[in-house]
Structure 1
Amino acid sequence: MLGWLRPKNKSLPADGSGEEQPRAAADGEPDARLIHTEAIAESSPSSFERSFAEAEDSADLTIPLLTVTGVERSFPVGGQQLHVLKGINMSLYPRKLIMLKGRSGSGKTTLLNLIGGLDQPNKGEIVFKEHPFHLCSDDQRTQIRRKEIGFIFQSFALMPLLSAWENVELALRMADVPRSEWKQRAAHCLELVGLSRRMHHRPFELSGGEQQRVAIAKAIAHRPSLLLADEPTAELDSQMGAQVMSVFRDIIETEKVTICMTTHDPTIMEVADHVFEMVDGKFINT
């Protein structure tokens, strides 16, 4: 099942039920097919695309994108300290798919939050692309996240009243991407995840697997170098989970991104480049 690969530049079927049909555009709403055609027709690379390509071509894949050294994290509970992470050491290298494996309560999500700059350790160092997260202020880490890191959540975290297109566009706005880049980039991201013909549907009109793919398109829209996903297949059945993992492999190849995700699903681990197993806040068998 996990050997199944999605053909490039083709939409995935909705819930495996057959070919998707484009929804007719409402009054005043641009036709998804016309937008898609116009975006693909813009063959000359934009300045945003060119600068990204030049930076990635010169990237040294032997230098870690992120390093975690001696990290500990504890929380006050009932007047005592609950030690969640107990001396974590790890390195994430460019263009790899990394999985954090472990049962609930093992510390996976806490570590993912630290890696993404959403939290800070009590002890130890976290360095992302020469940015010392453990020394940065909240504002500094926020600015780095907006430019360099994408997040995918188990609950999809989509704006319910916005279409798939508008959700992706919102991510571009927040990352201060030039407005002239939005149409081409949003179309590319939605096509990459197989939703080019569903881009004007709102979340409630999409299946769970499609919503997760919108979340992926939104997370990669601003071209992050690191993508963090917290149990991205937990709410999906095995077929949809396999499709999401296939999309991840395509994204690593085409977007030159590193993906670090948490999971306790053994059926998807075979596609990972490296698996870190966590037990009681420590790595084992790394």
Structure 2
Amino acid sequence: MSSTSPNNSLGREIQTVGVIGAGTMGNGIAQACAVSGIQVVMIDISEAAVQKGLATISGSLDRLLKKDKISAEAKASALAHIRISTDYADLKEAQLVIEAATENEALKVKILQQLDAMLAPDVIVATNTSSISITKLAATTQRADRFIGMHFFNPVPMMALVELIRGLQTSDATHAKVKTLAETLGKTPITVKNAPGFVVNRILIPMINEAFFVLAEGLATPEDIDAGMKLGCNQPIGPLALADMIGLDVCLAVMDVYMKEFNDSKYRPAPLLKEYVAAGWLGRKSGRGVYSY
């Protein structure tokens, strides 16, 4: 584990955060940071992608404004804290960079290695992965002790939880620094050891998968399955509607990870879930999943 000196990023407050990815999770993380007064550099592969991400943030802030959750001044201030770019060189002022790209291991490794090559050695790098091993991703970098999982939940501006996942190599100082940042964002962090799915998705996604088994067996309609879980377990949304929100392809990909990593048949993906994904019925984002949108 590398030593830390008083003048490196672990010894300073995090004032600027880089976010890689301007999609649903990336722009949500950027918004949460900006609303909390932290400077943000949001990066994506094209100008169209970052402009779309910024427009999404502006629209989200507009909804909060209409509900009197924020003032017009607060909205303007948040937007003023966000800079968009397609150039990693614009991350040079960041003390922390959060990778929030698509849940694809090869893509994440490519991005992390690009970051590793151009960021100062003392910059902390976090990944927003929901299922990929933090220890494994950390090992692909030259800053494994300054690498951590920072798993936000969708929609990021509304959801209070952040899972902080420590890889085998993550230093205490890195964990403490990122925990403080999460609290600054108004989030409640929980600390989790590295394991497939961590804590929340380890429990949640198999529950969704089981709901597909129940649906396939014809035990109840989708509406009644969801109503049963909402009213019987006090959940705000039923598992099938939640699957549509998450994306059925994402749910299937996570179950495939569990099956591969645990080699336990209890993690086998439901055939109906696989069938829906094969049909392109991915949920809200495709206009059709368990429900039609």
TM > 0.5: no
Q: Give 1 or 2: higher strand fraction.
A: 1
TM-score, normalization by structure 2: 0.25
Bigger relative contact order, structure 1 or 2, given CA contacts below 8 A and separation 6+?
Answer: 1
TM-score, normalization by structure 1: 0.26
Q: Give 1 or 2: higher helix fraction.
A: 2
